[in-house]
Amino acid sequence: MVARWMLGLFSLVVFVMVYMPIALVVITSFNQEAITTLPIENFDTRWYYKLFDNAKMLEALWTSMQIGLISTTLATTLGLLSALAIVRHNFRGKSLFMLLTVMPMLAPGIIMGVSLLLFARYVGFQTGFVAVLLGHTLLALPYCTFILISSLARFDRSLEEAGRGLGAGELAVLRRITLPGIAPGIIGAALFAFTISIGEFVVSFFLTSAGTTTLPIRIYSIVKVGITPEINAVSTLILLTTVVVSAMALRLTWTKRV
């Protein structure tokens, strides 16, 4: 009984330590005063409205949205092709291929950032929008691949055999049977990729340029001067978006339907 009580208390302390800073960011975003202080005397939502008057913040948001949508499309497409190759075919070097696919997921962000920056300079590639885009695609690719591997592994392949038996070609089977059957997994993989891209900082920091500023980079540049409720407001919106998109992705990727 005592052991269970202590375990429960320890779990509570861990959850408080993890989620209290997040809760403080959300709460202080409603502070009426320009200086973040606790306790809050007057609550206000003016900092959220002020975001729409901040041209640089909106520009950074638009850049993040562009990179997020394009990298999501690329990572999901490449992840689907990789998953099809891994699940449906046996080929020499398959284990090495899977290892290389998962490496961006395992390597620390700073290692990935430095490596991509050195590689870009070695091949004469300029940092900026395209470099950040490729970096985000590389980071999201492993997640998309393994989510789609799971979806393909659960898919009833007898439906494909039935389609072939009725005279459908491989492309027709893929387009009319396989892709609709794993559609929840494809959408879930895309949502996870977008979540990764929209909040990525480390790789973006190494690959960005003066003309390309994502939202996390913009927030970092402001935080170096001081933390204001406006920063807490945009952080809260990013957090809300991430939670909603992640919840949708989890619901889709954990579905038992094939």
**CB of 83 within 8 A of CB of 102?**
no
Q: Is the pLDDT of residue 197 over 60?
A: yes
Q: At a CB cut-off of 8 Å and minimum separation 6, what does 52 contact?
A: 58
Q: What is the pTM of this model?
A: 0.80
Q: How confident is the model over 69-96, as a mean pLDDT? A: 89
d(CA 232, CA 24): 9
What is the pLDDT confidence band of residue 40, given thresholds at 50, 70 and 90?
low
For residue 125, which phi and psi values (nearest 5 degrees)? -90, 135
Listed range (23-27, 117-121, 130-134, 149-153) with the worst mean pLDDT: 23-27
In percent, how much of the chain has pLDDT > 70? Answer: 90
Q: How confident is the model over 23-44, as a mean pLDDT? A: 70
Listed range (74-78, 130-134, 229-233) with the worst mean pLDDT: 229-233
d(CA 67, CA 212): 10
Q: Is the pLDDT of residue 183 over 80?
A: yes
The dihedral over CA atoms of 153, 156, 157, 160, expressed in degrees to the nearest 10, equals: -130
Q: Which domains does the chain have, with CATH numbers?
A: 1-44 (no CATH), 50-253 (1.10.3720.10)
**Given CA atoms 116, 117, 118, 120 in this order, what sign does their dihedral have?**
positive
d(CA 103, CA 143): 11
Looking at every residue in the chain, the average pLDDT score rounds to 81
